[in-house]
Amino acid sequence: MTGAGWAGARPTLPVHALALVLAAAALAHTLWHGVDQRGAALAFGLLTAVGEFARWSGAGEREPAPLGAAGALAYALLGENAGRATHHDVPQVVAVVAAASLLGCVPHVARGRGPTADHLARRVLTVAFAAVCFQPLYNQGRWQEWTGGGAGYAALVVALLVLTALWDAVLAAAMAHARTRWPFGPLLRDELRGTPGIGSAVCATGAVMALAVAVAGLWALPVFSLPLLLTQLSFRRYAAVRATYRQTIASLARATEIAGYTPAGHARRVAALSRAVGRELGLSEPELTVLEYAALMHDIGQLSLVDPVPAGATAVLAPEDQRRIALLGGAVVRQTGVDADVAVVVERQADPYREQPVSARIVRAVNAYEEKAREAGPGGPLRALEELRLGTARDYQPEVVESLARVLARSGGVARGHLG
Amino acid sequence: MGPIPPRALCCVALAVLGALACLARLPDGRTPWAALALLAALCAGCEQLSRWRPAGRHAPQGMGAFFPVLLAGAFLLPPSAAALVALPGALLTRVEQRPRRIRRVWRAAQLVVAVWTASRVHGALGGRESVVRAESPYALVPAGAAVLALCAVLTLLDGAVLVAAERVPARTAWRGLFARSLAPLAVHGLAGLMMAVLWRSPYGPAAALLVLLPMYVSWWVFAQYHRERAAHQATIRALVQAVDIKDGYTRGHSERVGRASMMIAREIGMDDERAEVLRFAGILHDVGKLGVPTRLLRKDGPLTPEERRVIELHPEYGHEMVRGIGFLGEARSAILHHHERIDGSGYPYGLVGRQIPEFARVVAVADAFDAMTSTRSYRRARPVAAALAELERCAGRQFDPRMVTALARALGRHGWHPAVTADEARPGVPAQTPGGSRRTESAP
């Protein structure tokens, strides 16, 4: 556990401080020594600023400003400009990118759209990494010497960009870990898994820009950023429709609450807790989405019942009844056109845990916990956990129950020290 | 699909002859076969990649994942060699509609002629030298001209075969075709130019391949977008079907109210975006009935005041359910207020006149109209004219007269065709892809 002690309120503070110091030093150095090749600096700075300005506001996206990222990386890896060698050094790269990103962020900050500090710190550190790998050796002529120019040089640029992407993923996972205290391993895996999507497009565009400017000069920049802009647009539309879809699923889930079959907020609470437990257990992002949808709709089978189950509590019913409702629910979910995996989880939620997929085990345990904790009043959470532990022989998987206990302890849902 | 009309066969034969003429000058000894083979393989590879399963069955058709490669070929190679690049990929294309073989041949011939023309135009403007000496932005001029030529030939041939095969009037066949395809082709053209410049640079063909990656990612995300959108529409449909099944006698009612609302919206000059939201309002207006016990909804005979009060809660239930769905916007207020009356005697809030949201006034009229014109367990359907007369009688007290007039005018112009696919589905077995959703997808 790194850094549990310092800065409880701002756990990502050290990263921010590092980025800030780096950017300030680079700016001071550049102002002192003057800017080398102003045209290129201005063009790349403008591209980065525009990319930053055009970023989307949707939270939780992997790379909110792909165009800005590609422009910044291309500047870090720029060796030649229209056939003539460039001489800008690492501080200049960092200074230009930091200044441009700050400038592009101003409208977002003014409109109060989302946190930008994390994003900016990541940008500065990533670009600094790429520039440190490339510029010193390039300016000494080493890279040309070793790769012999040509195709070897292109391969080098790509390899450096892949390294940079890895570094960026580590950085992002570390920051997410510091902020949320979720385990580092799964976070890093999620970051790496997401990289082939928008990450690869950013890297490829960065490489193409650096090489194309080397061959053709600066007019290539605006022309060659268009395809990436298109990618950004598709991603934005995708994100929008995904958000809408999630809202629709959530309101479908509310149908059981409004019909009086389940208590208000039950589906939402089970979904949130299930997601947290799934994350604890190291599920990947697509698996988490399936888990969340299944948890939201786990009670939907009750809509097919003529008479409501008392208080919607399925965990106290006879096993056959539980399984019957689960099957009805699976049938409803299949009709909705949601991913078939979701239907499977809903169908199997009442089976003994050894026969279940892991998502269904989580939904079963969390649902039972939610119902039991609610009934028992004050002190309910503790007693509910105890009951779940007693059921680990057949119904609930011990690992899931312990993971649930950890999640609850962390969020303060259960008093610490209950384990014994 | 009947037999192919002879005029269409003629059209295809002419295109094939043209394509052969384009390829005839190939064996003159100056063809860069290695580059040609590499580009052709790439082109076919892109085509196959788009059939790859993770990208999905729902991938949008005709995205032309291979156009950047084709255009790069046109910028790099002599015309007949560039035309040959298109051939293997086009012959391997998956074709959805029958007759497959002749469509494939047609597609190949069309691409060969178009690419040949583009490459010719590009060469005539000195494009090949500009690609090698790329320091000046002049390279954009021949590339732009080539893209225009490609687009022109493709749309010309597309329109011609439409006229020949389907006897579409020439004006409708070509209308908007050129403008629609130019924007995507221009982006592909820029990517192609990028490829060509890098190909001729010291960095070589490997660097050129990098250009394809963002294009492919973009295309893949677009496919995902379509898949997610289809899933979303299926879910909305499931919500509606759940209501219809529960309500027993109102099969297809929701879809029809959606359609009638849309007709009114068009008539009163609502813009397309709001009309689309209004259609959702019509479709989902009774979604709150999911919260009302089935026994009450299906009860034959008069309801007690207590039971009536429970049923009258459904607008509030519905609003509670959908209030989290952002894209429904104004439709949410229509779901809450569709049982309000102009004179203030409606529920849940007893709003009067213009206090009632516009959407709710539209849905109220559409709802009442469909209720009267469809058969229910306790009475037969009334004819459209009788229903309109009844609506007009209640206009000003129960309904907004403006909406009633609009519905009457729209019905006079387009008629009422109440058969929807939900009618054809057996009870409890919802149709997988009702026509209503198709219409949503093609709507702007």
Average pLDDT over residues B105-130: 89
pLDDT (0 to 100) of residue B144 = 92
Contact (Cβ atoms closer than 8 angstroms) between residue A296 and residue A271: yes
Task: Tell me if the bond preceding B348 is cis, omega within 30° of 0.
Answer: yes
Query: Closest chain B residue to A157 measured between Cα atoms?
Result: B207
pLDDT (0 to 100) of residue A311 = 60
- The domain spans of chain B are 6-52+59-222, 229-442
Burial class (CB in 10 A: 0-12, 13-18, 19+), A82: middle
Report CB contact under 8 Å: A200, B198.
no
Report CB contact under 8 Å: A306, B295.
yes
Per residue in A147-200, pLDDT tens?
Answer: 777 788 888 888 898 899 899 889 888 888 888 777 788 788 878 877 777 778
pLDDT (0 to 100) of residue A113 = 66
CA atoms within 13 A on the CB side of A61: 24
Residue B54 has pLDDT above 60, yes or no: no
In this prediction, what percent of chain B has a pLDDT beyond 90? 20
Q: Which residues of A touch B134 (CB under 8 A)?
A: 215-217, 220
Residue B16 has pLDDT above 80, yes or no: yes
CATH architecture of B229-442: Orthogonal Bundle (1.10)
Specify the range with the lowest mean pLDDT, choosing from B15-29, B83-97, B415-429: B415-429
Q: How far is CA B434 from the centre of its chain?
A: 15
Residue B336 has pLDDT above 90, yes or no: yes
Q: Check residues A400 and B2 and name the one with the higher pLDDT.
A: A400
* Residue that is written with structure tokens 């749309």 in the block: B155
Q: Which residues of B touch A242 (CB under 8 A)?
A: 228
In this prediction, what percent of chain A has a pLDDT beyond 70? 88
* Residue that is written with structure tokens 């009774």 in the block: B286
The DSSP annotation for A380-416 comes to: HHHHHHHHHHHGGGTTS-HHHHHHHHHHHHHHTSS-T
The DSSP annotation for B100-161 comes to: HHHHHHHHHHHHHHHHHHHHHHHHHTTHHHHHHSTTSGGGHHHHHHHHHHHHHHHHHHHHHH
Strand partners, A80: A85
Residue B442 has pLDDT above 50, yes or no: no
A268: distance to nearest CA of chain B, Å?
A: 12
Per residue in B293-312, pLDDT tens?
Answer: 777 777 777 888 888 888 89
Average pLDDT over residues B37-43: 86
Provide the b/e sequence for B274-307 (b: ≥16 CB within 10 Å). ebbbbbbbbbbbbbbbbbbbbeebeeeeeeeeee
Mutation site, B130, B131, B235, B239, interface A, largest A CB count within 10 A: B235
Specify the range with the lowest mean pLDDT, choosing from A55-59, A62-66, B254-258: A55-59
pLDDT (0 to 100) of residue A56 = 67
Selecting from A258, A260, A338 the residue whose C-beta is nearest the C-beta of B320 gives: A258
Selecting from A235, A258, A336 the residue whose C-beta is nearest the C-beta of B238 gives: A336
pLDDT (0 to 100) of residue A304 = 65
A404 shares contact with chain B (CB less than 8 Å): no
A42 shares contact with chain B (CB less than 8 Å): no
pLDDT (0 to 100) of residue A7 = 39
What contacts B331, CB < 8 A, 6 or more positions away?
Answer: B277, B278, B280, B281, B284, B322, B359
Selecting from A214, A237, A303 the residue whose C-beta is nearest the C-beta of B290 gives: A303
A307 shares contact with chain B (CB less than 8 Å): no
* Three-state DSSP string of B254-305: HHHHHHHHHHHHHHCCCCHHHHHHHHHHHHHCCHHHHHCCHHHHCCCCCCCH
Residue A112 has pLDDT above 80, yes or no: no
B227: distance to nearest CA of chain A, Å?
A: 10
A200 shares contact with chain B (CB less than 8 Å): yes
Average pLDDT over residues A287-314: 76
Per residue in B231-261, pLDDT tens?
Answer: 777 777 777 777 776 776 566 888 889 999 9
Selecting from A214, A251, A336 the residue whose C-beta is nearest the C-beta of B322 gives: A251
**Between the ranges A108-117, A230-239, B100-109, B216-225, where is the mean pLDDT highest?**
B100-109
pLDDT (0 to 100) of residue B429 = 33
Q: How confident is the model at residue B56 (pLDDT cuts 50, 70, 90)?
A: very low
Per residue in B340-381, pLDDT tens?
Answer: 999 989 888 989 988 999 999 999 999 999 988 887 766 788
Please check whether the domain covering B6-52+59-222 is classified as CATH 2.30.29. no
Selecting from A150, A228, A259 the residue whose C-beta is nearest the C-beta of B214 gives: A228
ipTM value: 0.70
Its sign, for the CA torsion B343, B344, B345, B351, is: positive
User: What are the structure tokens assigned to B32, written together?
Assistant: 């860069």
Q: How confident is the model at residue A10 (pLDDT cuts 50, 70, 90)?
A: low
Selecting from A200, A219, A227 the residue whose C-beta is nearest the C-beta of B190 gives: A227
Average pLDDT over residues B315-338: 87
Mutation site, B213, B313, B327, interface A, largest A CB count within 10 A: B213
Q: Which residues of A touch B190 (CB under 8 A)?
A: 223-224, 226-227
Residue A348 has pLDDT above 80, yes or no: yes
Closest-CA residue to A208 (of A81, A74, A305) = A74
* Residue that is written with structure tokens 């959908």 in the block: B322
What gap in Å lies between CA A120 and CA A98, rounded to an integer? 8
User: Which residues 82-101 of A are in CB contact (within 8 Å) with B?
Assistant: 82-83
pLDDT (0 to 100) of residue A244 = 81
| Amino acid (1-letter code) at residue A158 | V
**Between the ranges A9-23, A63-77, B113-127, where is the mean pLDDT highest?**
B113-127
User: What are the structure tokens assigned to B324, written together?
Assistant: 């989290």
Q: How confident is the model at residue A306 (pLDDT cuts 50, 70, 90)?
A: low
pLDDT (0 to 100) of residue B369 = 93
A202: distance to nearest CA of chain B, Å?
A: 7
Residue B62 has pLDDT above 60, yes or no: no
Q: How far, in Å, are A255, A257, A313, A396 from residue A310 at the CA level?
A: 17, 13, 6, 23
Phi then psi dihedrals of residue B300, to 5 deg: -90, 145
Mean pLDDT of chain A: 81
Average pLDDT over residues A351-379: 84
Residue B425 has pLDDT above 50, yes or no: no
Report CB contact under 8 Å: B213, A215.
no
Q: How confident is the model at residue B64 (pLDDT cuts 50, 70, 90)?
A: low
Q: How much is the CA Rg of chain B, to the nearest whole Å?
A: 29
Q: How confident is the model at residue A5 (pLDDT cuts 50, 70, 90)?
A: very low
**Between the ranges A243-247, B181-185, B268-272, B431-435, where is the mean pLDDT highest?**
B268-272
pLDDT (0 to 100) of residue B146 = 94
Residue A260 has pLDDT above 80, yes or no: no
